Amino acid sequence: MRRLGLAKRTEEAYADWIRRFILASGKRHPSTMGAREVETFLTSLAVRDNVSASTQNQALSALLFLYREVLGTALPWMDEIRRAKRPQRLPVVLGRDEVAALLDQMTGVQWLVASLLYGSGLRLLEGLRLRVQDIDFGRREIIVRDGKGGKDRRTMLPAALVAPLLAQLDEARRIHGADLAAGFGEAWLPHALARKYPGAARDWGWQYAFPATQRSRDPLDGRVRRHHLDESVIQRAVKQARARAGIAAPATCHTLRHSFATHLLESGQDIRTIQELLGHNDVSTTMIYTHVLNRGGLGVRSPLDRGADSTRA
C-alpha cells in the first residue's frame, strides 16, 4: 500500500477490513476463499452490523486490493459483486448568521482553524496540515498540498484572517525555537524528502502552522517530532460551540466547507471557480450546492403565498 502511495488512513482502513474478513471467515487464508465468503462477509456487514453503503463499499475496495494487489490473483467474480448504492444526501449548510454565531462561541487557535474552514473552504485536515510556506500573505492565498486525491490547489486567504494568522505563526515560531533548543524541531516530510534534503525537516518553512501542544514519537520510524494539532481538538470545539450557540442543525467542521461553497453561490460566484477552490474533480460534485441555496424552495414561490397575498389585497 505504501509502494502504491495510498494515504495513511486508507492503509489503516484497508488493513483493518482485511483483518476483519479473515477473522470472520474462521482465520482461513484468503487464497482458499472465493465469491461466497466475500458476499457473506459484505452481507453480514449490511444485515447484522447495519453499516452504511459507503462503509460496505470501503470494505469491498479493501478486499479487491487484497486479491488484486497483495495476492496477485485474477478473480473475475470480484467484478460481478455490485457495490451498495449510496443514498443521495443534501449537505448540512448553515446560514451566515449561524456561522457568525458559531464562530462567536470559539476562541484562540480553534476559532482560527474554524474560520479558515469557512473562509477558505478547506477540509479539516487540509487546514491542520498547512505548512508555513503554504501561506502566501502577499497574494492572499493558501496552497493546499496533497489534498484529497493527491492534488494541489490554491484557495483564498480572507483578509480578516491575515493578522490572526500572522500572530499564530509567531507562536508557532516560538514553539519551533524551543524545540530546536531542546535538540528536536523536526517536522514530518512527505515522499522521502527527509532523505533527499536532510536538513529540511528543521527549516522554518516546513513547520506546521498549527503545531501540536506536545511532541510525539512517529509510529512509522520512531523519531520524535512535533506533529500538527490533532483534529479531535477542533471537532470537539465546533461541537461545543454549536451547542452554546443553540444551533439545531447537526453542524460539523465539514459543514463550514459546505457553507463556504453555498454562500459563494448565493453571492453570484460562478460554479467553475467554486469547483477550483474546493478541489473537485468534476463540476457535478460542486453542483450539489445549487440544491441548498436559500431561495425559498429553489426560487419557486409557493401557491399558498400567492393566495395569501391576494386575500390580503
Give, in degrees to the nearest 5, the angle at Cα 278 between 273 and 279.
Answer: 95
At 234, the amino acid letter reads I
- 258 as an active site residue: the answer is no
Dihedral sign for Cα 198, 199, 205, 211, please.
positive
Q: Which residue reads 486479491 in cell numbers?
A: 67
Orientation angle between helical segments 253-266 and 108-120, nearest 10 degrees: 40
Return the CA Rg of the chain. Answer: 24
What percent of the residues of the chain are helix, what percent strand, and what percent coil, each to the nearest 5? 55, 5, 40
Q: For the chain, list the strands marked E by DSSP.
A: 135-136, 141-144, 153-156, 216-217, 224-225
Does residue 291 have an active-site annotation?
A: no
Put residue 260 in one of left, alpha, beta given phi > 0 → left and psi -120 to 50 → alpha.
Answer: alpha
Out of 14, 67, 118, 123, the active site residue is: 123
- CB neighbours of residue 149 within 10 Å: 9
Q: Is residue 289 flagged as an active site residue?
A: yes
Verify whether residue 151 is a known catalytic residue.
no
Catalytic: 254? yes
**Gap between the Cα atoms of 286 and 278, Å rounded:** 8
- Check the CA dihedral 289-290-295-300 and report its sign: negative
Catalytic residue among 145, 148, 153, 215: 148
150-175 b/e with 16+ CB inside 10 Å = b? eeebebbbeeebeebbeebbeebeeb
Nearest to 78 by CA among 51, 38, 45: 38
Please tell me which residue in 131, 176, 226, 280 is annotated as part of the active site: 280
Asked if 85 is an active-site residue, the reply is no
| Catalytic site residue from 129, 226, 242, 257 | 257
- Nearest-angstrom CA–CA distance, 72 and 50: 31
Positions marked catalytic: 123, 148, 254, 257, 280, 289
